[in-house]
């Protein structure tokens, strides 16, 4: 069975061998204060730097999940005002957490399945929070849109939730200040680790907030995560196995080549959208082609959702359910490095041959 759910998604095909090797080498019981741990932390972060083309002033720290980074980023980068672009359940959740933390957030909203018109905003926001890939509906923000905030809003920090689009999306990290993901989506790993990339402006802001208020997080704060990062350690006992596996899969992706992976992802996305567009019974949910995500492809199946799910399942494809209010009508198809070209070609053939009940 091939898992097309966006997350947890299909494991990258090398993961089970890496787990076996990790058990043999005693990785799961490695002390997080040992030289061996520092080495595997370093291998994961230097691999990510290379894979994603991170500038030298970015550092990488680990949390429990991306959900934790939603909270930590607001605690560490905002004293008072954040701005959120909201066009689905995940971007909305980020906004709600800001409300819970009393950050007086503002939001600019688009309808589900739609992107944003280019926004002119005032410069009073400390943090602009963008969700590159709205996993609930399959809408992506364009890179020119993401890159349009820095410079104009030189005081604001820009953070990008790229949980369901990395490593595919080729972010220009000089045009933003921070980005993050969790590993059970595009990296094809078991869940249990958030990866937070941030530059020195973020660190300076967090230190400034800490000196004023002190309440930027006691379990994890950016300054403490950073100071442990410089030793390639973590404040707490972390998910050592996940950090090890991330380093190994990043090595595998580097060997395959990020350009090849990105080209293949685009090829698979084009194939699936074409199949949906040509289909008499189902269609792409996102109607504007330039808003369509390449990594989470959402099909509007109308009242064929249940029949199509069964049809695909008996053929070995497990589609992702529609999210929230769209459960009855949508199916979602993750398009990650773990999903091969051949699997996508077979999936497209299967969809083509679906004739309803």
Ligand X SMILES: *Cc1c(COP(=O)(O)O)cnc(C)c1O
Stretch that binds ligand X, among 12-20, 72-80, 157-165, 238-246 (CB under 6 A): 157-165
Residue tagged 């685009």 (tokens):
266
**The residue to which tokens 């990296």 are assigned:** 187
Question: Residues with Cβ < 8 Å from 198, sequence gap 6 or more?
Answer: 58, 59, 61, 177, 178, 222
**Binding mask 1-30 vs ligand X (x if CB under 6 A, - otherwise)?**
------x-----------------------
Closest contact distance (angstroms) between CB of 320 and ligand X is: 11
Binding test (CB under 6 A) with ligand X, winner from 40, 66, 209, 210: 66
Residue 10, CA atoms < 13 Å, CB-side half-sphere:
22
Least CB distance to ligand X at residue 311 (A):
26
The residue range among 28-36, 60-68, 233-241, 330-338 that interacts with ligand X, by the rule CB under 6 A, is 60-68
The residues in 86-145 that bind ligand X, with binding defined as CB under 6 A, are 90, 131, 133, 135
Place of tokens 């990395």: 166
At closest approach, how far in Å is the CB of 8 from ligand X? 9
The string over 97-122, giving b where at least 16 C-beta atoms fall within 10 Å of a residue's C-beta and e elsewhere, is bbeebebebebeebebbbbbeeeeee
Least gap, CB of 161 to ligand X (angstroms): 5
Q: Which of residues 169-208 bind ligand X (CB under 6 A)?
A: 182
Rounded to a whole number of angstroms, the minimum distance from the CB of residue 323 to ligand X is: 9
- Per CB under 6 A, does 163 bind ligand X? yes
Choose, by CB under 6 A, the member of 126, 161, 294, 300 that binds ligand X. Answer: 161
Residue with smaller CB distance to ligand X, 210 or 217:
217
- Number of alpha carbons in the 13 Å side-chain half-sphere of residue 272: 33
- In the complex with ligand X, which residue's Cβ is closer, 159 or 253? 159
Q: Is 48 in the site for ligand X (CB under 6 A)?
A: no
E-strand ranges in 100-251 read: 106-109, 127-131, 133-134, 139-140, 157-161, 178-182, 194-199
Q: Is 117 left (phi over 0), alpha (psi -120 to 50) or beta?
A: beta
- What's the min distance (Å) between Cβ of 319 and ligand X? 16
Residue 67 makes contact with ligand X by CB under 6 A: yes
Collapsing DSSP to helix, strand or coil, 194 comes out as strand
- Smaller CB distance to ligand X: residue 133 or 275? 133
Under rule CB under 6 A, residue 65 binds ligand X: yes
160: which 2 tokens? 């990008």
Q: Indicate the residue among 135 and 305 with the shorter CB distance to ligand X.
A: 135
Count of residues near ligand X by CB under 6 A: 12
Q: What angle do CA 12, 14, 19 make, to 5 degrees?
A: 105
Give Dmax over CA atoms of the chain in angstroms: 64
148 binds ligand X, rule: CB under 6 A:
no
Among the listed ranges 63-71, 217-225, 268-276, 314-322, the one in contact with ligand X (CB under 6 A) is: 63-71
Q: How many CA atoms lie within 13 A of 32 on its CB side?
A: 16
| Three-class DSSP category at 42 | helix
Residues that bind ligand X (CB under 6 A): 7, 65-67, 90, 131, 133, 135, 161, 163-164, 182
């Amino acid at each position: 069975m091939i898992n097309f759910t966006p997350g947890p998604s299909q494991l990258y095909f090398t993961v089970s061998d890496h787990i076996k090797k990790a058990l043999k080498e005693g990785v799961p019981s490695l002390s997080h204060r040992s030289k061996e741990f520092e080495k595997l932390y370093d291998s994961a972060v230097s691999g990510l730097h290379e894979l994603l083309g991170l500038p030298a002033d970015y550092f990488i720290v680990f949390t429990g999940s991306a959900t934790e980074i939603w909270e930590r980023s607001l605690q560490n980068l905002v004293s008072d005002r954040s701005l959120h672009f909201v066009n689905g359940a995940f971007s909305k959740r980020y906004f709600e957490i800001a409300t819970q933390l009393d950050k007086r957030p503002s939001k600019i909203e688009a309808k589900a399945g739609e992107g944003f018109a280019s926004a002119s905003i005032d410069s009073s926001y400390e943090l602009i929070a963008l969700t590159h890939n709205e996993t609930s509906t399959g809408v992506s923000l364009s890179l020119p849109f993401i890159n349009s905030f820095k410079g104009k809003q030189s005081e604001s920090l820009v953070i990008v939730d790229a949980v369901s689009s990395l490593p595919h999306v080729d972010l220009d990290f000089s045009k933003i200040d921070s980005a993050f993901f969790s590993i059970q989506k595009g990296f094809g790993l078991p869940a249990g680790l958030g990866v937070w990339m941030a530059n020195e402006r973020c660190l300076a802001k967090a230190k400034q907030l800490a000196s004023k208020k002190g309440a930027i997080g006691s379990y994890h704060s950016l300054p403490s995560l950073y100071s442990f990062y410089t030793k390639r350690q973590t404040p707490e006992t972390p998910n050592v196995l996940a950090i090890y596996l991330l380093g190994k899969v990043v090595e595998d992706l580097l060997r395959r080549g990020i350009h090849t992976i990105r080209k293949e992802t685009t090829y698979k996305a084009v194939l699936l959208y074409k199949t949906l567009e040509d289909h008499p019974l189902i269609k792409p949910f996102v109607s504007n082609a330039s808003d369509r995500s390449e990594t989470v492809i959402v099909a509007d199946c109308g009242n064929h959702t249940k029949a199509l799910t069964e049809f695909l399942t008996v053929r070995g494809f497990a589609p992702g359910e529609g999210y929230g209010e769209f459960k009855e009508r949508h199916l979602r198809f993750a398009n990650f490095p773990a999903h091969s070209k051949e699997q996508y070609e077979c999936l497209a053939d299967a969809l083509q041959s679906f004739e309803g009940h």
